[in-house]
A and B are shown apart, each in its own frame.
Chain A
Amino acid sequence: MKKANAQLSTLNSQGSTEPAVSVRNVSMNFPGKRIGEEIDVLTNVSAEVAHGEFVCIVGPSGCGKSTLLNIVAGFLYATSGEVLVEDQPVRGPDPRRIFVFQENGVFPWLNVRENVGFGVRGCHQAERDRIMGHYIDMVGLRGFENAYPRELSGGMRQRVEIARALAANPDIIYMDEPFGALDFLTRLKMRNDLVRIWQSEKKTILFVTHDIEEAIQLADRVLVMSDRPATIQEIVDVDLTRPRDLDSHGYLEKRDRIFRVMGMSLRVGEAIVNQNNRKNLG
């Protein structure tokens, strides 16, 4: 299973071995409150994501990982450096790469079917219906086709957004803490479903989260970011087979490693171990 994925991740549809996403020396600063003041958010971030790969970006709250994802998706422009997708510099958002928003971008004026069909274009009604039905089934929302978002739970709304992203048939899906607002059990279920969908759809996924466990449950590789101004502190290969046991030795080892990289103590109530991180745990 893992081997098959690895092969897929190096071969895209064009058969090239170029990375799907390539982030090169990206820095970002925002103007501060005082005139002339600048806040560095990202400094010299470089990373690559292979085709079909599932990559998670983790880091402390407010470290700039969302900013990075927004730059990669074309919603923000980096102060310096560049982002290449399929060897082309990113000039703005693109329907071939769909963003799944933390705050849920499902349109409340459309029902589930219409939302899922929003980005389906260039085909006949029958084909549209087939695509919509397929992805509604995939995210487990059959029977809710005619429901409006306000009638759905938070988890179901997030499923609608994922189905809407998939139905547009993008090459890459960017996800910005998509399960952040959900309760623990719903989140576990959503992760499970996301991995299943990713395995069947062969999309490249770049997924931002502050939840270390979530990252290890999902990703092929985890990019660990430092506190602001953020850089990539470490890249952790999660070479665990799927489905992953959450109490296996390998899983716990990876988890503990990221905890340590981020300067977290593994025991609640113990002093913080890493001096690099002065602000963490707030």
Chain B
Amino acid sequence: MSAKSEVRSNALVSSKEADIATRTSPLTRERPTPTWFQYPDSRFWRTVRAVGMLALFFTAWGLAVRISHSDLFPTPFDVFLGIIELFQKGLLLKYIVASLFRVTWGFTLAVLVGVPAGLILGWYSRAFQAFNPIIQILRPISPIAWIPVAILWFGVSDAAPIFLIFLASVFPITVSAIAAVQNMQPVYLRAAQNFGLSRSELFRRVIFRASLPQIITGIRIALGVAWLVVVAAEMIAVDSGLGYLIIDARNAGKRYDLVVAGMVMIGFIGLGLDLLVRQLEKFDEVSWGYAKR
């Protein structure tokens, strides 16, 4: 008891001292407002952490190249110069557009096929029983393994990587749509039945809308995979794009500064794509499906 009150009086004293230190009147109960850098989670400190770690990473990378006396592996600055060089030659934009063009087509096709297919397979259990084995066998085959087949069918053209991107992204989308329909809360379905919806209304107004949050999650995963696959496909099946840039820079004179420049661009664009799809999750029509953060 006495120890406790001692602690308390100590606390009082120290808070008084703090008041005096920050020159606020001890009569007002208000605490001194901390300035922005006193909040450990202020925007300032978050930025410091992120940028600081990146700077540390680049410094370590540069030092490692220096110490190992590597002739081929570039320093971050070499990579930066490489990006400038590519930009000046007009290749950077051209290749980015080529890669994005293929991803856009393959991915759009995958959404157009995968979402309806997933909704139908999720709803009609007999169709699911028939098609699920095929899907489950095709799904684990890496799209990379399809590259020879794609070249056989489509030759060296845009169609080959588009096909590969389609293959890579259609399965995550379909599977997430199937799961979404199968896990739909029965009460929504019963309410919909009660209002006497026709089959097509049921799909449009209830099943699709109830599944949308999970479908968007599938789409996010699919876009990530699509971006991984376009690079691999372009290394083999075509002569443009960021994947081609990487393999071409290596083969034509071991320009590793350009190789890594291509990698860095892939990383940034992939991040950009993910941020873009994440914006979809913020719409009121779907945000109910995600845990509050």
Query: Across the two chains, which residue of chain B brings its CB closest to A106?
Result: B191
Please state if B196 and A94 are interface contacts (CB–CB under 8 Å): yes
| A-binding segment of B86-94, B133-141, B261-269, B284-292 | B284-292
Q: Cβ of A201 < 8 Å from any Cβ of B?
A: no
Please state if B209 and A105 are interface contacts (CB–CB under 8 Å): no
Contact of B288 among A103, A109, A168 (CB under 8 A): A109
Report B218-256 CB contacts with A as 1/0, cut-off 8 Å: 000000000000000000000000000000000000000
Report B81-125 CB contacts with A as 1/0, cut-off 8 Å: 000000000000000000000000000000000000000000000
Interface size of B by CB at 8 A reads 20
Please state if B187 and A104 are interface contacts (CB–CB under 8 Å): yes
Please state if B196 and A109 are interface contacts (CB–CB under 8 Å): no
| Cα–Cα distance between A110 and B57 once the two chains are bound (Å) | 46
Q: Cβ of B183 < 8 Å from any Cβ of A?
A: no
Please state if B286 and A101 are interface contacts (CB–CB under 8 Å): no
Please state if B193 and A109 are interface contacts (CB–CB under 8 Å): no
- 7 A-B pairs with CB atoms under 8 Å apart are A73-B194, A94-B194, A99-B194, A105-B188, A107-B206, A111-B284, A119-B195
Which 7 A-B pairs have CB atoms at the shortest separation, nearest pair first? A105-B191, A108-B288, A95-B196, A119-B195, A105-B187, A109-B209, A93-B194
| Cα–Cα distance between A91 and B187 once the two chains are bound (Å) | 19
Query: Across the two chains, which residue of chain B brings its CB closest to A108?
Result: B288
Task: Report A156 CB to chain B, min CB distance, Å.
Answer: 15
Evaluate whether A99 and B188 lie within 8 angstroms (CB atoms) in the complex, with A109-B209, A109-B288, A118-B195 already known.
no
Q: Cβ of B170 < 8 Å from any Cβ of A?
A: no
Q: Cβ of B23 < 8 Å from any Cβ of A?
A: no
Task: Report A162 CB to chain B, min CB distance, Å.
Answer: 13
Q: Cβ of B165 < 8 Å from any Cβ of A?
A: no
> Which residues of chain B have C-beta atoms less than 8 A from A168's C-beta?
195
Evaluate whether A101 and B288 lie within 8 angstroms (CB atoms) in the complex, with A94-B196, A95-B195, A118-B195 already known.
no
Q: Cβ of A52 < 8 Å from any Cβ of B?
A: no
Q: Cβ of A150 < 8 Å from any Cβ of B?
A: yes
> Which residues of chain A have C-beta atoms less than 8 A from B193's C-beta?
75, 92-93
Contact of B187 among A95, A98, A101, A109 (CB under 8 A): A101
> Which residues of chain B have C-beta atoms less than 8 A from A107's C-beta?
188, 191, 206, 209-210
Please state if A101 and B284 are interface contacts (CB–CB under 8 Å): no
Query: Across the two chains, which residue of chain B brings its CB closest to A97?
Result: B194
Q: Cβ of A198 < 8 Å from any Cβ of B?
A: no
| Cα–Cα distance between A111 and B209 once the two chains are bound (Å) | 13
Q: Cβ of A178 < 8 Å from any Cβ of B?
A: no
> Which residues of chain A have C-beta atoms less than 8 A from B293's C-beta?
none
Q: Cβ of B29 < 8 Å from any Cβ of A?
A: no
Q: Cβ of A148 < 8 Å from any Cβ of B?
A: yes
Task: Report B288 CB to chain A, min CB distance, Å.
Answer: 4
Report A127-165 CB contacts with B as 1/0, cut-off 8 Å: 000000000000000000000111000000000000000
Task: Report B281 CB to chain A, min CB distance, Å.
Answer: 13
Contact of A150 among B187, B191, B288 (CB under 8 A): B288
> Which residues of chain B have C-beta atoms less than 8 A from A104's C-beta?
187
> Which residues of chain A have C-beta atoms less than 8 A from B178's C-beta?
none
| Cα–Cα distance between A148 and B287 once the two chains are bound (Å) | 10
Task: Report A148 CB to chain B, min CB distance, Å.
Answer: 5
Report A74-92 CB contacts with B as 1/0, cut-off 8 Å: 0100000000000000001
